[in-house]
Amino acid sequence: MRNKLRLLTPGPTPLPEEVRLALAQDMVHHRKPGFKAVLHRIQEGLQWLFGTQQPVLPLTCSGSGAMNAAVWNLFQPGERVLVVEAGKFGQRWKDIALARGLDVAVISLPWGQAASPVAIREALDTDPTICGVLVQASETSTGVRHPVREIAQTTRIRDVLLVVDGISAVAISPCPMDAWGVDCLLTGSQKGLMLPPGLAFIALSPRAWNAAERQTCPVLYFDLRRERDNCLKDQTLYTPAINLLKGLDVSLQLFRERGLEEIFRQQWALTQLTRTAVRALGLELLVQNQYTWGLTSVLMPAGIDAQRLLQIAAEKYGVVMAGGQDHLKGRIVRVGHMGHVDFADVLAGLYALRQAFKACGGHTAGRDYLEAGLAAYEQVLDGLSVPDLDGAGN
């Protein structure tokens, strides 16, 4: 008898049954009143989720498409921006900015290290020509959580736009856009939102919209100004991914029933469960401080091939996890515990991690790692404080 398949990657993530049923519904026409009503509900839910009064625009693309849209709509060729490059997706910000013809300054950090708000403030003080800071809320390639709230305290008092990739943060950890002073927040559908890949979402602050209005080098498909005009009429500019949006409608209803505080508390509890259990196994965490909620990166000791471990975990135990990228390939295992994942899924993943690690020749600590993880999980659910919940909405 085969093991139940458990998807514990940092995207795509498992889908709730209610969402799967919505995806299977008959096709409808995207310009008719019935679908306009769906888009209207979605807009209200997305604004609540993003913590903004501004329109949140759905785009039919991956999260990288929304990153591209942000850079093309907010900055003109020759303008100077500061990119925080601390992983694969920080590199993507740089690549997109260079493709746009921007003058790119880079704060380059070791993979696994979070950005310093002080270093960013000093960079902006030193170079007043910088008009934008591009950063991840959660660097998915490593599991670092950059201090967006503190960075925003610097950018919001300057003529500098803060553009945040929240692809593995929105609906996972707090990032209330208006309360924190984020100028552009974007995400994708296949992580915290509990949907298949294929949709991205982006919102701009009033001053970001002012920057977009000044653009003289227009784009076509990713023209956020025209998308906003259509959004205000409960429409999209081009043909959308209709059934994905119907699934989103259901996903947002599930979020509203629970409330953001409960969602974030659950994600924090699963994060503490995973990190505590990994330490109890005697394994090393890649990120020690300022770590992402919903993703734990485990550093493999010398002699253990993470790729082989992942293969064993999937084939023998039915648990699909992710490996490292670039120079971290073969060196880390990324355990995803975001979206529609519960403690039982995570416990199965931790067991598969331990057994596959042993099959690769590794040695772990005692057998109480699951008990240690569950104790940490229960502490959070029993009232242990959760960081950054203030200002996150409810």
Transcribe 252-281 into DSSP letters.
HHHHHHH-HHHHHHHHHHHHHHHHHHHHHT
Residues linked to residue 107 through DSSP beta bridges, in sequence order: 84
224/334 same-domain check: no
Look at residue 219 and tell me if it is in a domain.
yes
161/301 same-domain check: no
Look at residue 111 and tell me if it is in a domain.
yes
The answer to whether 124 touches 160, Cβ cutoff 8 Å, is yes
> The pTM is what?
0.96
185/293 same-domain check: no
Return phi, psi of residue 130, to 5°. Answer: -70, 130
Domain boundary among 257, 285, 308: 257
Look at residue 226 and tell me if it is in a domain.
yes
Tens digit of pLDDT at every position of the chain (394 positions): 678 899 999 999 999 999 999 999 999 999 999 999 999 999 999 999 999 999 999 999 999 999 999 999 999 999 999 999 999 999 999 999 999 999 999 999 999 999 999 999 999 999 999 999 999 999 999 999 999 999 999 999 999 999 999 999 999 999 999 999 999 999 999 999 999 999 999 999 999 999 999 988 778 999 999 999 999 999 999 999 999 999 999 999 999 999 999 999 999 999 999 999 999 999 999 999 999 999 999 999 999 999 999 999 999 999 999 999 999 999 999 999 999 999 999 999 999 999 999 999 999 887 799 999 999 999 999 987 788 875 454 3
Residue 341 is part of a domain; what is its CATH number? 3.90.1150.10
221/347 same-domain check: no
250/263 same-domain check: no
* Helix or strand holding residue 84 (H, E): strand 80-85
Look at residue 387 and tell me if it is in a domain.
no
- 390 exposure class (CB count in 10 Å sphere: 0-12, 13-18, 19+): exposed
196/53 same-domain check: yes
Given this model, what pLDDT does residue 388 score? Answer: 80
Quote the number of domains for the chain: 2
Domain boundary among 257, 289, 314: 257
User: 52 CB contacts (<8 Å, ≥6 apart)?
Assistant: 176, 177, 178, 185, 203, 205
Given this model, what pLDDT does residue 390 score? Answer: 59
Residues linked to residue 145 through DSSP beta bridges, in sequence order: 138
Domain boundary among 226, 257, 288: 257
Q: Which structural domain range is residue 291 located in?
A: 6-12+259-381
293/163 same-domain check: no
Given this model, what pLDDT does residue 393 score? Answer: 41
Residue 109 is part of a domain; what is its CATH number? 3.40.640.10
Which pLDDT tens digit goes with each residue over 10-59? 999 999 999 999 999 999 999 999 999 999 999 999 999 999 999 999 99
DSSP H stretches of helix in 127-241: 148-155, 177-180, 206-213, 224-231
